Structure 1
C-alpha cells in the first residue's frame, strides 16, 4: 500500500523550518503577517464591491460597497506599513484573549463542573491578553512571532511523526 509518507515528511520539515524562522526572526514574521492581512483585506474588499454592484445584493448594496472600499483602503495602508497591520492584529488578539479570560473566570464561579480548569484557563487567557494589550509594539510582535513559531513547530513535529508512522505501515 502506497502512503505517500515522503511527501508528508517533506511537508512536516518545511512547516518546522517556517516555525524556526518565525521564532528566530520576529521582524520577518511581523512583516509577513502584515502583508498577509493586507492581501486578505484586499480580496475581501474586491469581493464586497463585486457583491455590492451585482444583482445578488439588492437590500444591502451600499453597505457592501462601503465595506469593500474601506477594506481596500485598509489593505493599501497595511501593504505600505505591514507592521502597523500586524500590530493591529496583535491588539485584537490581546483584547479577545483578555475578554475571553474574564468570561472564563466568571463562568468558573457559576459552573458546577471543571471549576478549577475554567478558572486557570481564564487566568492564563487574561494574562496573555494583558501582555499583548499593554506591551510595546516590538514586544507584542515578538510574542506574536513566538506563538506562530511554536504553533508551526508543533504542527511540523506532528507531521513528521505521522510520516514515520505511514512509513511503518507502508513497509509492513
Structure 2
C-alpha cells in the first residue's frame, strides 16, 4: 500500500472510533430504553420531514410556470403534517406506522399461507412459504394488537445491531491506528 494512503488511513482512525462509540451508545439506549430510542428516531424523521415540507412549500413561490405545483403543494403539505405529528408525538406516529405495517403483514401472511398450501400440493416438502405466511401473520397481529410492544422489540433488535456495528467500527479504527 502506498505510504501516503497508509498514512491518511492511519490518521483517520478516530473517525471510525467515533462512529463506533456513537453506535454503541445508541445501541445501549435502544436495548435498555427502546421506546426512548424509537421516539428519538421518529423525532429526527419528523424534523427531516418538516424541513422537506417547508422547503417544498417555499419552492412554490419560486417555481416556474408549468412546474407540477399541485403535486408540490400536496407533497409539501403531507410532509409538514407528518413532520408535525412525528415531532409533537413521536411514539404515536411510530405506533401508527407500525400498525399500518401490521395490517399489511396480516394480509401478506394470509396470502402466503394460502399460496403455500396450494404450492405444497404440487411441490412435495415445500413448507417454507406456509411458514413465512404464519410468521408474517403472527408478527402482523402483534404489531396491530400491541404496537408499543412491537416498537420495543424492533428497537431492541436495532440496538443489538448497533452494538455489533459499533464494536466492528472500533476494531477497524484500532486496526487503522496501527498504520501510523
Instruction: Give yes or no for TM over 0.5.
Output: yes
Count of residues in Structure 1 that have an aligned counterpart in Structure 2: 168
Tell me if the contact between 1:23 and 1:150 (Cα under 8 Å) persists in the aligned partners: yes
Instruction: Return closer, same or farther for 1:110/1:130 CA change in 2, 3 Å cut-off.
Output: same
Structure 1 gaps of 5+ residues are none
CA RMSD in angstroms comes to: 3.4
CA-to-aligned-CA distance 1:26-68 (integer Å, 9 cap, x gap): 231232133123213212312332444412753x312321331
Task: Tell whether 2:141 aligns with 1:130.
Answer: yes
1:80, 1:48 → 2: CA distance? Answer: 21
1:9 deviation in Å?
A: 3.0
Using structure 2 for the length normalisation, give the TM-score: 0.70
1:56, 1:162 → 2: CA distance? Answer: 52
2:138, 2:168 → 1: CA distance? Answer: 28
Instruction: Return closer, same or farther for 1:97/1:158 CA change in 2, 3 Å cut-off.
Output: farther
1:151 deviation in Å?
A: 2.8
Structure 2 gaps of 5+ residues are 1-5
Task: Tell whether 2:43 aligns with 1:35.
Answer: yes
Using structure 1 for the length normalisation, give the TM-score: 0.72
Larger Rg, first or second structure (1 or 2): 2
1:7 deviation in Å?
A: 2.9
Name the SS for the 1:170 alignment partner. Answer: coil
